[in-house]
Structure 1
Amino acid sequence: MLEKLLRKLKPDDMVKWQLIFDEYLEVSKADRLWAAAYLLNDGASDDGFDYFRAWLISLGQDAFLAILKDPDCLGELLQGNVDDDFLAEFEEIMYISSDAYLEKTEQDEEEVFFEACDRLALTAEEKAEIHADIVLPEALEWDEDDDLEIIFPKIAAALK
């Protein structure tokens, strides 16, 4: 569905979509969110955390912002929807606009898309607008040995 919508956009708008997506991905690097990803996905490498945040963005702006503010609210969202095969990751969304862009512009080299990203980079004002709605969760120092189920009781309940 998203790919279909992106294909309807002008190439520069596809690039802008990617730049906004990338900014949301960047600002969501929060240790408490990583801990929630670790609990939910039974582990989260660097790449796994990127794919988790991409999945969060795919849930839509309202859900993304709520989860970013309080990662444990993921448990309410997922209640009854988690099985043994569930993995809260969406790597493919990270490349969907570049694929659509290359197809629409009939280009073969990804470098063309990256050049367009550089040319259309977000302004400080555009970044500030994105950041205006962002409320990061309280900091959390954690490691794999911590009992994350105590920190995130709603997520733990959704996993049972």
Structure 2
Amino acid sequence: MDKREFWQFIDAAKEVSKGDQTRQEQALINSLAQHEPQHIVEFECILREYLIEADDFNIMAAQKILNGYVTDDSYLYFRCWLVGQGEAVFMNALRNPDTLVTVVQAPYQDFEELLYVATMAYEKRTGTKEEDDEDTFPRGIAYARGLDYDSGSATKGEDWTENQLPKMLPKLWKKFGVA
């Protein structure tokens, strides 16, 4: 699997789900489970690459405006949501997170379930459980390759203070910021 194929999986699942993340998750699992285990592993690795790429103070600022707070978990789940929106939304947000104002309807956004689709697809495809052999599962292989979106990722860009947010991301602030 390459990055083009990765985005095809994401975009196709998003399209059939019509905004329902549970349906998007199931569409991804079902679609991935039809492929060879190595293909599923590569999906996990590419997902992690994008989660690391999105680890940026500007993305964190957008999440702060939308959710009102930032924790390690909420920031990760927000980046999952961002990937789940598809390639165009993801790439535009990396360039300018203020573009999310045209995508976001409700302020809180997360898609934690995206972290587990490769594992569930792998289990479905191989008939084995992760606890039987974690090292051969997508997450274990990705981690062994150094793709750790938690401690292996350093947030890029410049840190900000809350009073900078209205000027950093004026469109998001106008729509979702607290006055």
TM band (smaller chain): 0.7 to 0.9
**Residues 61-95 of structure 1, C-alpha deviation per residue, up to 9 Å, x if partnerless?**
111011011111111222xx22xxx4211100011
Q: 1:46 to 1:119 in 2, by over 3 A?
A: closer
- Distance in 2, Cα, partners of 1:111 & 1:68: 38
Q: Which residue of 2 aligns with 1:132?
A: none
Compute the TM-score of the two structures, normalised by the length of structure 2.
0.68
Pick the aligned partner of 2:128 from 93, 99, 107.
107
Matches within 5 A, 1:9-48: 9-48=35-74
**Cα contact 1:51–1:89 (8 A) shared by 2:** yes
Structure 2 unaligned spans of 5+ = 1-26, 148-155
RMSD across aligned C-alpha pairs, in angstroms? Answer: 2.6
Q: 1:6 to 1:146 in 2, by over 3 A?
A: same
Tell me the CA shift for residue 2 of structure 1. Answer: 1.7
Q: Which residue of 1 aligns with 2:166?
A: 149
Q: 1:157 to 1:31 in 2, by over 3 A?
A: same
Tell me the CA shift for residue 103 of structure 1. Answer: 2.2
Aligned positions, number? 141
**Residues 94-133 of structure 1, C-alpha deviation per residue, up to 9 Å, x if partnerless?**
111101101221112346354244668899xxx9xxxxxx
- Distance in 1, Cα, partners of 2:88 & 2:143: 24
Q: 1:111 to 1:17 in 2, by over 3 A?
A: farther
Greater RCO structure (CA 8 Å; 6+ sep): 1
**Cα contact 1:7–1:100 (8 A) shared by 2:** yes
- Secondary structure of the residue aligned to 1:146 is helix
Choose 103-112 or 62-71, whichever is displaced more.
103-112
Q: 1:65 to 1:45 in 2, by over 3 A?
A: same
Q: Which residue of 2 aligns with 1:65?
A: 91
Identity of paired residues, percent? Answer: 27
Tell me the CA shift for residue 41 of structure 1. Answer: 1.0
* Runs of 4+ that moved beyond 3 A: 110-114, 116-123
Q: Which residue of 1 aligns with 2:116?
A: 95
**Residues 108-160 of structure 1, C-alpha deviation per residue, up to 9 Å, x if partnerless?**
2346354244668899xxx9xxxxxxxxxx933213x4242332111123327
Amino acid at match of 2:118: S
- Secondary structure of the residue aligned to 1:95 is helix
- Distance in 1, Cα, partners of 2:103 & 2:160: 24
